[in-house]
Structure formats: C-alpha cells, structure tokens
Amino acid sequence: MKDIFYAYIQELQQTITSNLEEIDGKAMFHEDEWTRPEGGGGRTRIIENGAVFEKGGVNISAVHGALPESMQTYFEVTDVDFFACGLSLVLHPKNPMVPTVHANWRYFEMYDKKGTIVDQWFGGGQDLTPYYLFEEDATHFHTICKRSCEGHHPDFYTTYKKKCDEYFWNTHRNEARGIGGLFFDYCKANDELNMKDWYAFVTEVGNSFLEAYVPIVQKRKDLEYTPVQRKWQEIRRGRYVEFNLVHDKGTLFGLKTNGRIESILMSLPPHVQWVYDHNPEKGSEEERLLNVLKKPRKWV
C-alpha cells in the first residue's frame, strides 16, 4: 500500500502543479528534492510572486525510521518504527477576493522491531479560507467535497465536514480558520471498509481538488480590490499563521520528527499583519465573514 500511495501522490503533485502554473500564467514552481538523514525524503515545489499566486507549495514526502519518543507518547506506543508519506499543499493568492486553500492526503504505517506492520491508516482533507465571503464559492467547494464522499459511505460527508469544522478551529480566538471542507484521520480497516476501500476514498478526494478550487480562482482572480481590503487579507492571514503554529498536527509532527523546516513552514504567507484589537466596521463585508466564522454553517 505504501508504494501504491506514494506513486499516486507523485502523479497528483505533477497534475496539480501543472494546472496551477497554467492558471497563474507568470510564475513557475521551483522544485527542490531533499533527503532526511534518518530516512526518506521528498520533493518540494514552491511558487512565488506570480500573477495569481503570491506564494504556494505543493509538497510530497516519504519518511521513515524510529518513531521519536515524543511521538511515541502521542500515539501511546513503545519503541516502534514508522513510515509516513503524503502530499500537502497551501496556496496563498495575491487577490484578497480569492480564498486561500489547504489540502493534505497522507498514509502512515507503524512496525514492531521485526518489521511487521502493527498499525496503518489514511488521513487528509481539503479546506477553504476566504477573506471575503462569496456564498456560491463556499457552496461549490462543499458540493465537490460531498460528491467525492457519496460513493464510499452515506455518512462520510456529514462526519468529515463536522470534523473539519472542529479541527480548523482557533480556540484562542473562538473562531474558525475558514469555511471548512473535509477532514479525516486514522482511517483504518474495519468491518465495513478495508484498506483498499480507504485508498479509493482518499484518492477520489485528492482527484477532486482541482475541480473544487480552480473554478473559484478563475472567477475571482481578476476582481478589483482596495488597499483596505488587502490589509484585511493580511490580518486574516495572521489567524492562519496562528493556527498552523499552535494547533496544526502536521506542523507539530514535522517539527517533532526532525522534519525539513523549509517544507514545514512553506504554509506560511509572505505578507501578514497583526493589528492590535482590530475590529471591522459594523455591517461591513469583513464583519459578515467574522460572523460566519463564529458558527460553522451548512453549505450544501
């Protein structure tokens, strides 16, 4: 399974980056292949200062070795080895009318000292972080998410939409990072689904990403915006940074397993602000967004 899934994310990385380059029309992805001293490596692709994308990364990795003690405590295991591979992407568009997007699809195995698999699971999802709320964009994104779930289990969309709303929650701000999507983790073989079934589900979600996001980009990328709206985008990007550095499991896992810091922190936007006690004007579009982020909504 690990070989099959790693081959899949290699192909998916190529598909996504080539499509994004075509949309941007100016910038190209810079590729950086790297190795991890403890085992494994990855292929980082970064786009910067484009016509559409101010910064973005579409990264794949496959790492392995002894599970660090800090992560043994987290997973409630003893001395085991691990393998982890996945594709992680974050795109920060230049125009504040275009939402930031994040997605991740991953596979994990743990082994005893004889090399026998003792646990394995899939995880991942995709979520949208708008700076200005276009409800039809939120509906489109969630419609594609729902459709990618429907053929696999009747409860998947409802369950994983709820988990996404709960996970991407800045508890110290008491607000959502964005308008959600899907989030799933520890997807293991059970009485209903085997690992091949989970693979089929995760890859369908991965394959749906471009259809979920690209039409929104194309619709909003040429809209006019003001310096005030740009400032609001940078303030909201600050909330994005806060979540990734305080709460995000993937960031914390990478830091605790001696991950490649450049790849881990590629999710951070290039221009960001923290303004003391900033509150939007009453009745403004900025306030409307905040009201939605205070309480997750049903979009489809």
- 160 SS3 class: helix
* Structure-token pair, residue 39: 């085992």
- Residue 92's DSSP bridge partners are 55
Catalytic residue, from 102, 140, 142, 152: name it: 102
Q: Collapse the DSSP code of 70 into the 3-class scheme (helix H, G, I; strand E, B; otherwise coil) and give the result.
A: helix
Q: 175 φ, ψ to 5°?
A: -155, 155
Q: Are the C-beta atoms of residues 83 and 62 closer than 8 Å to each other?
A: yes
Residues 6+ apart with CB under 8 A from 157: 145, 146, 149, 150, 182
CA distance 290 to 286: 7
Fill in the amino acid letter for 262: E
Give the distance between the most distant pair of CA atoms in the chain: 63
Distance CA 99, CA 78 (A): 42
Active site residue 102: yes
The Cα 180–Cα 141 span in angstroms is: 9
- Integer angstrom CA distances of residue 92 from 2, 57, 62, 143, 254: 30, 9, 25, 22, 21
Q: From start to end of the chain, where are the E strands? A: 30-35, 40-48, 53-66, 81-93, 100-111, 117-129, 169-170, 175-176, 180-187
Mind telling me the catalytic residues? Answer: 102
